[in-house]
Structure 1
């Protein structure tokens, strides 16, 4: 596909997505006093509409290799674009996603995110912020919700495999739950920090469940390799380090 067609498709996609995001965010906040279920329904509808326009406008195909059980475990996703963050309410019934603190300052959307139960990540907050994050994570697990962590900390272009951030090791040790790693190659069609999107197949590849209680180095190495399983082989030549 040439750039002009991709640009026109992307313009139409963003117009539809911004409009839907505004409507669903307002609906989620307004619905909260009425029903938490209604709030979650607006969020799920937002994610479903995003997938619909990804398919219908951008020409994406979504492929899932393996199963993602909707159980209280820690999921660690590869993070190549906003695509997989928006998808979470569609992949799980009610996920508790770790999200950057600054996202909660977005008008209306930030309120909806807090009401929905996303977990703020304050990287500069020190021990107090870590304790608050851990408390929220344990509460989510107690409610039967899966936790979702993007352990690289930021979106990375397809083909790059940075080490996991130190926060993963702390969560893994303190929560004491199994980890399910998920590789994603969304950066091919939904590249990070790029306004124009491209048609293509986006794949989720679910890795082998990693049990709780492993040594930090082993757990990190297994997660790192699994979430990068869809990267080119040369991206995995160097071992991960924290």
Structure 2
């Protein structure tokens, strides 16, 4: 039964995404806010489908820790789920994504039109300067910037070195950095066909102190995210640790 539900969701996800691209491309002729609302609708529909088809719910805690306006959201990345959840939670947010993703015909056009940011990992310091400049522009518009500081998806329990880009962005912009932990990979694994019924927890932690040196910020960010992710991860089963009503 679980395999069938996973198959149905994958069809729903791929089909819904393809339809979004088909409808969205003509919308490139209109101002970005219109297309942004349409993409937010897609993300909301995908998360709702995940609940209905696969029995996977979203539980969010700590929304009170997220300041209004332009902040840097530094989030744990375990699943494709993480790449759309912030469109539902904070519809004005933009993601920092690999350049290759935003170069994909169709979807990449929509993402760029909506103001999503790209980073070219092969371009070195020049890419970082471009990312910092564009980050400052989005923050000035009052739009939160979501970045995955590990730079890649990781499996539950896996740890990789955090990349310095988030610290450079914070230092150049003076923006508040908000750590976020999740256990999304527990029910939707990296490149996994099968989705496991359960709860995806997203835990928004208190912002880091302003004005930290880059190395200190990166160390405190990693410590906060990894400690909370370890707390969320329960290998014995799906236990809702939040004690609060979910948003998904």
Q: TM-score, normalised by structure 1?
A: 0.90
Q: Deviations over 1:8-48 (max 9, x none)?
A: 11110011111111111232221132342220121001101
> Who is 2:130 aligned against?
132
Q: Deviations over 1:166-213 (max 9, x none)?
A: 222222222211100010110110111211111111101111111331
Partner residue of 2:32?
Answer: 36
User: Residues of 2 paired with 1:212 and 1:176: CA distance?
Assistant: 8
**Does structure 1 retain, via aligned residues, the 8 Å contact 2:56–2:198?**
yes
> Is 1:170 aligned to 2:173, yes or no?
no
From 147, 150, 153, the counterpart of 1:152:
150
- Cα offsets for 1:62-96 (capped at 9, x unmatched): 11111134420111000011101111211112112
Runs ≥4 residues deviating over 6 A: none
Alignment counterpart, residue 20 of structure 2, candidates 24, 28, 43: 24
Deviates more, 1:166-175 or 1:184-193: 166-175
Report what 1:59 is aligned to.
55
Please name the residue that 2:236 is paired with: none
* Higher RCO structure, 1 or 2 (CA under 8 Å, sep 6+): 2
User: Which 5+ residue runs of structure 2 have no aligned equivalent?
Assistant: 234-248
What is the SS of the residue equivalent to 2:24?
A: helix
Cα distance change, pair 70–44 in 1 and its aligned pair in 2 (3 A): farther
CA contact (8 A) 1:189 1:198 kept: yes
- RMSD over equivalenced CA pairs, Å: 1.7
Consecutive unaligned residues in structure 1, runs of 5 or more: 235-242
Aligned residues: 230
Q: What SS class does the counterpart of residue 151 from structure 1 fall into? A: coil
Q: Could you tell me whether the CA contact under 8 Å between 1:64 and 1:205 is conserved in 2?
A: yes
Q: Deviations over 1:99-121 (max 9, x none)?
A: 01110122210110111111001
TM-score (norm. length: structure 2): 0.88
Task: Say which SS state the counterpart of residue 206 (structure 2) adopts.
Answer: coil
In structure 2, which of residues 74, 82, 85 is the aligned counterpart of residue 84 of structure 1?
82
Range 189-198 or range 213-222, more displaced: 213-222
Secondary structure in structure 2 of the residue aligned to 1:18: helix
Give the conservation status (yes or no) of the 8 Å contact 2:132–2:168. no
Report if aligned partners of 1:58, 1:198 keep a CA contact under 8 Å in 2: yes
Do 2:183 and 2:232's aligned partners in 1 also have CA atoms closer than 8 Å?
Answer: no
Shift of 1:127: 2.4
